[in-house]
Every structure is written in structure tokens, then in C-alpha cells.
Amino acid sequence: MANCPNLLVLDVSQNRLTGNLPPWVVKTGLKSISLSGNSLSKSMQYPSVTSLEASTEGLKVLDLSSNVLSGEIPFDIGNLSSLLVLNVSRNRLFGSIPSSIGELKMLQVLDLSDNKLNGRIPSEIGGAVGLVELRLENNCITGKIPIQIQNFSSLTSLILSHNNLTGPVPAAIANLTNLQYADLSFNNLSQSLPKELTNLSNLVSFNISHNNLQGELPVGGFFNTISLSAVAGNPSLCGSVVNRSCPSVHPKPIVLNPNSSSSNNGSSLNHNHRKIALSISALVAIGAAAFIAFGVVAVSLLNIHVRSSMAQTPVALTLSGGEDFSCSPTNDPNYGKLVMFSGDADFVAGAHALLNKDCELGRGGFGIVYRTILRDGRSVAIKKLTVSSLIKSQEEFEREVTRLGKIRHHNLVALEGYYWTPSLQLLIYEYISSGSLYKHLHDGPTTNCLSWRQRFNIIRGIAKGLAHLHHMNVIHYNLKSTNILIDDSGEPKVGDFGLARLLPMLDRCILSSKIQSALGYMAPEFACRTVKITEKCDVYGFGILVLEVVTGKRPVEYMEDDVVVLCDMVRGALEDGRVEECIDGKLRGNFPAEEAIPVIKLGLICASQVPSNRPDMEEVVNILELIQCPAEGQEELE
């Protein structure tokens, strides 16, 4: 083999080779060397891998992973200036990371994981500006994370878990705009997380579990949906994700010491001053008490006058929708309570004109939806609940609405606030302008139908929204295409979630009647009182939604002399190999079968009659990520 002058790639990985690198390997011309998965057991220093005669078109890939190499990483590794991939993971290397790593300007992948490396991460590593993946996990590395990592503008993976790193998580990480995966778990990192991390718009995973971090988790972006397991093991972290409120910081009151004096000789004068101050304080206190007493008497007389007036003239709250709700402020101290969780709490037309029939958006099992405008110019959707008689108390209603208002995810419709009277309850949501998924699938023009890529992204977005709901212990109960809204960017947002939680008196019969418009989406366990209602009911509805999105057909369609149940139709067509009948005809063959068929099968599994056969929504999200084809060619499908 030494006599093969044109040899460019040597790959003898996954064998049982032992001993040293043979001398002929270190020859001019090799571009890639892969010896991973063998039993090479000598030191990297013998023979030195850097004795390769690197030219301008020299070695690009060096993979010695999964051997039993020992010793230190040679300092002259920096001589391999053309290196793109250096992988020496899963060996027995010790010592520190050589600073010469920073001389590898073209290096894209550096994997030193699963060794016995110690010492600090050298600041010189910032010189490897082309890094896309940096893996140093499962070593004994100490010290701080160097701020020079901000030089890795192309970095997508930063894996530093299971080391002994200390100090803060550097704000410099926020400069890694392409970062997708970060794992800093199982270290000794401390202090609070930088707020700037919310700027990392491409994050898929950020694991900081089992450290000594403290303070409030960043709010916004990825961190609104970060999983509990990714932040566990940090007892001093606070925020909604860890279900631990952050302590309020109040300014310390100014305390004047009455015993202080500018001179030790003025004690008699100070004593007189204290007497005068005491007399003034007493007079002020007496005056304040008298003023309060007078105010109480005045308010009492005013209340008596108002009550006598109200007894003669009943008061009604008139809405612009033409409905009158009589209500006595005497019997209802919380009459007309309007609460916004953030932003402006005033409406352009006033709180008495929220429900304008001209602005009605739609009707559902739980209420009628209107559109109105806040004083700051934002549009919101107002849902007038039609289940007032089932709401047990104002206290429980407000507690549950506040809980739902804290749930934030880019695939969920945000609950912005509420309006309460004993006979009228309104929920205030963000307004989504592009309408429902039902409209896009069934009411839209055929010339502007959803592409396969749009449909796949909608399915995946719904799955992520439901997975977050279930993570927050919320069951949707009423999943259907009319409750999935599409924003201007084509992203789906799941709406109407958790409304059943507002009705403590709700039983299965009432629930079924309230959401009977969801025919075809309801899990079979709704009809069986002995089966517990769980998140798997939502999974069933999701499965039906998947089939609806893929086929473009409604869950149940009534023909002239037949009723077609979508789930049964798709299952039969798939078993008979008639895949084309399972895809919306509007796509006209513009879809990848390698994605479409697994998605259809996933929908059928989710719509299984047996709840235990349905996957969890987190599993569904992972499956969809595996199903998705590579990015190549996706633009052609659109």
C-alpha cells in the first residue's frame, strides 16, 4: 500500500487492528485517514501523526476515534493546516488541550470527547474560526468557558457536558447566531444565565441541567418552550419552567437613626430636638387618623345614597351586539373586571362595546369569537363564553385563566387576558389574521392550495404545540382544524386549548355535547365512562388532523348514499397499495413519497382505537424530525 502514490483515502475503520500507526501511513498525498473502531493502543506521539507531510492540499480528515490510544495530544497538531475534521474521541488521552488547536483555521469538526483530558479550554482555541461542531464532553476539563468561542460564527453544536467547568455561562454564546445544540450539563457553572441568550433564534436544544446556576431563566424565544429536564438540578433557578417564583427585589427603605448626632457635645440639644420631632409626629398621626375617619364616614354616606338610587333604577351592561346583561353592583363587587396579562388594558370602543356582531369571526362549542382593537392599535380576538352556567366560581375561573395565560409557545395562540361579570365571561386572545386550517384546506381557492412542504410544517408545528401543552399538564379536549390557526408566515397555532378546565362542573356528557362539532376527531374513550380521559385523547385528534392535512378531506364526509370515515378510508387504501388516494389531489404528484407514506402511517398510529397504542406527542415530534427529508430538493417541492 505504501507503493500507491495516488492513494487519497484510507479507511480501515471498525476492524480489530492493534499496535501503532504503520510508518507508510504518514505519506504525502493522503486526504483522509480513518482508523476508528480498532484497538490501536500506543501513544499519539509514536509515530507522531503530525509527521504527515501536509501540503496546501494536504490531510483534511483524521479520525482515530474509538481506539485505546493514550498519551497527550501532540502540540504540533497545529501543523495540519488543511485539516477539516479531527476526531480522537473515545480513547484514553490525557493532559491538556494544546493551544495550537487555534492554528487550524479551516477546522470544522473538533471531537475530543470521552477521554481523560484535563486543564482548561485554551483561549487560543478561538483561532479555529471555521468550527461548526465542538465536542469536549466526558473529560475532566476545568476552568471557565472562554469568551473566545464567540469567534465561531458558524458553530451549530457546542457540547461541553460532564466536565468540571466553573464560572458563568458567558454572554459571548449569544453571538453564535447559528447555534442549534448546546449541552453544558453536569458541570459546576454558576451565576445567572445571560438574558442575551434569547437572541439565539435557531436553538433546538439547550441543556444546562445539573449545575449551580441561579436566578431567573431568560424569557423569550427558545426559552419559553425549554423542557424541565434541560434545566433540572439547578436548585436556585427560578421561573415558570421550573415552577418556582423568583424573589421580588425591593429597594431598601431609607432609615434615619434618631440617635445619631454630629457632635458628642450636643446631646442635650439633640434630646430637645427628639422631643419636638415626637410632638410633630404625634400631631401628624392624629391628623391622619381624623382625616381617615372623616373619609370612612363620607364614603359610607355616599354608598347609602347610591344604594337608594340603584334600588329605584336598575343598571344594565349593554353590549354592541345587542344583548343586555342586567347586573347589580351592590350584589357583585367585581362587576366589569377587565384584566390584561400584558400591554394595554383599554379598548378603542371601550369595555362596554367588545362584542360587535359586525366583527364576528366564528362560533364554536364554547363560545362566539369577535375581533376588536386595543388602544395601542393591536387587534385581539374576543371569545364570549356560552357556558356561564357551568362555571363554578369567579375565583376558580380567574385562577385557571391566569394559569392558561402563562402558557407561551410559538405554536399556541396566546391568551392575553379576560373580562368578568357573573353573567358574562370573555377570553382575550392574540388575533391571527390568516384564518383557520379548515379554511385553508376546504374553503380556499384551488389555485392557492397548500404545498406538501407547508402541510408537513403545519403537522410538525401542531405536534410541537400539543407536546408543550402536555408538558404543562394541559389537555386540549377539542382538537380540530377550525381550532388550528395559520399566521402570516404559515406557522400553525393551536387555539382553544384548556377551555374544559374552566368548567369544574363538566362531565363527559356535557363535554361531548359542547364539542359535538368535532365529530370524527373525538377519541373512542369519550363514549366509555370506565376509561380515563388523558393526553392520548389529544393524540387521537392529532392523528385525524394529520390525515385531514395530507388528504385534504374532512374527517367524516357525507355522500349521497354513504358516509365516508376518513380514518377507515385511508387505512384501506394504504393496505391495498393505493397510496395516491391518500394524498390531496391538489398536489398533483408534487410530494415526496418517502415523507408522505410515513406521515400517513404516523397519523393512523396516533388514531389507534386503543389509547396505549398511541405515542406521546414528544415522541411524535421526534418521529416527524426523522421522517423529514434532507433539505436538498425541498424548494422544488414548493
Annotated binding residues for ATP, written as ranges, equal: 384
CA angle 603, 607, 611 (to 5 degrees): 135
Burial (CB count <10 Å: 0-12, 13-18, 19+), residue 150: middle
E strand or H helix at 317 = strand 316-318
The distance of Cα 325 from the centroid of its chain, to the nearest Å, equals: 40
Angle at 131 between CA 130 and CA 132, to 5 degrees: 115
Q: Which three cell numbers stand for residue 295?
A: 373619609
* Beta carbons of 404 and 496 less than 8 angstroms apart: no
Instruction: Give the integer Cα–Cα distance in Å for 208 and 187.
Output: 9
For residue 311, the SS3 value is helix
**E-strand spans in 149-211?**
157-159, 164-167, 181-183, 188-191, 205-207
Residue 35 Cα to chain centre, angstroms: 40
Are 153 and 130 contacting, i.e. CB atoms less than 8 angstroms apart? no
| Contact present, 550 and 455 (Cβ < 8 Å) | yes
Rg (CA), the chain: 33
- Element of type H or E holding 111: strand 109-111
For 475-514, strand residue ranges (E) read 484-486, 492-494
SS (H, E, C) 363-413: ECCCEEEEEEEECCCCEEEEEEECCHHHCCCHHHHHHHHHHHHCCCCCCEC
Which of 415, 416, 403, 426 has the alpha carbon at shortest distance from 336?
426
What is the sign, positive or negative, of the torsion defined by CA atoms of 363, 368, 372, 378?
negative
Query: What b-and-e string marks burial along 492-513, b requiring 16 or more CB atoms within 10 Å of the CB?
Result: bbbbbbbbbbbbeebeeeebee
- The one-character DSSP state at 306 is H
User: How far, CA to CA in Å, does 360 sit from each of 125, 386, 584?
Assistant: 60, 15, 31
Q: Indicate the annotated binding residues.
A: 384
Q: Which helix (H) or strand (E) holds 465?
A: helix 452-471
Within the chain, how many helices (H) and strands (E) appear? 10, 30
Nearest to 384 by CA among 397, 370, 402, 400: 370
DSSP assignments along 531-554, one per residue: SPP-THHHHHHHHHHHHHHHH---
Cβ pair 551, 570 in contact under 8 A: yes
Residue 456: how many CA atoms within 13 Å on its side-chain side?
24
